[in-house]
Structure 1
Amino acid sequence: MQWTFNTLTEWDRACWDKLGPIYREAFPHGAKPEKVLRSMLDRRIASLHAGLLEGEPVAMAITGFNGGQGVKRFILDYMAVRQDLRGQGLGRLFFSQIRDFADQDPQAEAILIEAEAEDTEMNRERLRFWLHCGFIATPYVHQYIWVPEPYRALYLPLKDDFTLTDDGKTLFRDITSFHHQSFRGQ
């Protein structure tokens, strides 16, 4: 198996034409529109990651940093593996490379994600995946005003001294700030 991990910091139409179907398949509702994703890369607040198996795109992610000097949080906004290839370890492999990418920034304290908190089998499977990747789930459940489903923050410390001082509510400040940056100017 030949696996390749690529990170793009500028919008590449040809690459997106191959990754877009994976994104739309995994996130049919509530995903950021393509023009917002393109703007995020154009404004250099996000990166687009691609996982290729035998040269064919099979995984994608959108990530970005939030925070300033010494308090950077790495936001994993979206990550997906092509549906027909899930359950084969590609998601963990892909995420390990995303984690390594985040860890290259010496100021990055933690990786943050938000996961749907409704008690459904699909959401329980997603939560198990993230826990197997080393994330820690927080008890706080956040209800956004613009989407109907509630979300829970999860975090993966990148620094030994990173500690969470509350139930996860503060993590949503970083996540929400990143979302606001994403839509700025749209």
Structure 2
Amino acid sequence: MEFNTIKKWDAQLWNTQISPIYHRAFDGKGAKPEKIIRNMFSKQLCYLHIGMVENQIVAMAVTGKLEGTDALIIDYLAVDSKWQHRGIGMQMMRYIQEWAMTKGNLKSMVIEVESEETPETLTRNQFWKKCGFTMTEYIHHYIWVPESYRAMYLIMVPDTNIPKHGEELFKYIERFHKASYQGA
């Protein structure tokens, strides 16, 4: 499997290869409109990580640095449905973790997960726990979406400055989302 990280918006790549994976995974589940993702790229708020098998993109992730911390937030991560249950998500996470430490000079990672305990969310949360993430107790309610969320964090280097309490983490996460939407 090959990996790459892209720092600039590429409409053709997004429309032909990334968008189908992204929309299958996130439509109706918090998908940001394309114009917001383009805005994130234009403001240099995000990175697009791709995983390829035989020159075909089979996994994607959109990440960004949480300002004021040394943490990378995983905004979206998806594996093409035809390639799931083959360990590709774990390989993608290992790549993102290595990239974050070596290229991003980052020491921790954060993700927000839906707090409702459905079979689907429990399965996803198990994946994140296998990746080394720790669940926080605090449940966050956004005013613009009906779902509530919890934060999970992964400490990659002991001297990270990432807060370990969900309420504090969501202050940074909300700033990231607000910056993503501003000016779009």
Find the counterpart in structure 2 of residue 88 from structure 1. 86
Cα distance 1:8–1:170, how it changes in 2: closer, same or farther (>3 A)?
A: same
- Please state how far the C-alpha of 1:165 moved relative to its aligned partner: 5.7
Provide runs of 4+ in structure 1 moved above 6 Å: none
Letter in 1 for 2:23: R
- Please state how far the C-alpha of 1:84 moved relative to its aligned partner: 2.2
Equivalenced residues, count: 181
- Please state how far the C-alpha of 1:6 moved relative to its aligned partner: 1.1
The aligned runs of 1:24-63 (5 Å cut-off) are 24-29=23-28, 30-63=30-63
Percent identity at matched positions?
Answer: 40
Q: Considering only aligned residues, what root-mean-square deviation do their CA atoms show, in Å?
A: 1.4
Aligned equivalents of 1:131, 1:116: Cα separation in 2: 14
Given that residues 118 and 150 in structure 1 are in contact (C-alpha distance below 8 angstroms), is that contact kept between their aligned partners in structure 2?
yes
Find the counterpart in structure 2 of residue 169 from structure 1. 167
Letter in 1 for 2:22: Y
Given that residues 108 and 162 in structure 2 are in contact (C-alpha distance below 8 angstroms), is that contact kept between their aligned partners in structure 1?
no
- Please state how far the C-alpha of 1:184 moved relative to its aligned partner: 0.9
Could you tell me the TM-score, scaled by structure 1's length? 0.92
Q: Secondary structure at 1:39's aligned position in 2?
A: helix
Unaligned runs of 5+ in 2: none
Match of 1:138 among 129, 136, 139: 136
The aligned runs of 1:93-132 (5 Å cut-off) are 93-104=91-102, 105-106=104-105, 108-132=106-130
Aligned equivalents of 2:63, 2:14: Cα separation in 1: 15
Q: Secondary structure at 1:51's aligned position in 2?
A: strand
Deviations 1:53-100 (A, max 9, x none): 1110111111110224xx322111000001122111000001111111
- Please state how far the C-alpha of 1:166 moved relative to its aligned partner: 5.6
